[in-house]
Structure 1
Amino acid sequence: MFTNGADYALARKLNSLDDNELRLLDTSDRLMIMREKIKENLCESYKTNAPRYNKRIREVRFSPGQEVYKRNFVLSDFKPNVNAKFSRKFTKCRVTKALGNNMYLLESLTGKSLGAWHAKDIKQ
């Protein structure tokens, strides 16, 4: 244990602060060891932080033909007297096809295509 700051200068001269085994290795081997250490640290930090990031995630799967509600994005407009806060938040539609894990092709109940929508904007 060092009790004085001057002890560090002596320790540096004696090379007792370094990990001498790593100094003797080839550069490529040292880099490989560092990469492995970084991978372990990244994996460990992912495991500790994943519950916080995934706290409010909901796993949903919609099947083709299922009737769902999509978020309705309305903007207020003075001329035609449209106020966005009084419009419907969701409109009813039907799932046509799944595009990947989170994207779905939607159509209105009358059969008009509404395009691709993300699962966060769709609810059952």
Structure 2
Amino acid sequence: MAAEPVPRREVVTRAPGTTAAPRAYRPAPERPDPLPPAVRTEVRRLIRAQLRAGLAVGGTLAVLVATLPLLLRTVPGSGLGPVPPLLVWAVLGIAVYPLFLVLAGWYVRRAERNEREYTRAVEGS
């Protein structure tokens, strides 16, 4: 038996039959910033304020929820040993949600206040 010849591999970079060379990359021209410097400063201030509020809520929630299992593990339930698992599930699965609602309400009020301050500052400048 004769070995069949292996076809030659080809690298395809454009449609067959075209002879046009690929275009060189040209970056898009930079557009001028439409915001005046005072507004740009206020936008940065708003972003920082919103970030601070989000980090405060997230950090508070993380600390409180992360320490709950440790607290429930170290505080003995009526002196008979660790807290019963059902109580742990009830605290972690049910009692945490009012905390979520309080923190979410605080965050929404804070975010709206930040946006009102931003609007007031931009309209005043």
Asked if Structure 1 and Structure 2 have the same fold, meaning a TM-score greater than 0.5 normalized by the shorter chain, the answer is no
**Greater share of strand:** 1
Largest Rg, 1 or 2:
2
* TM-score, scaled to structure 1: 0.25
TM-score (norm 2): 0.24
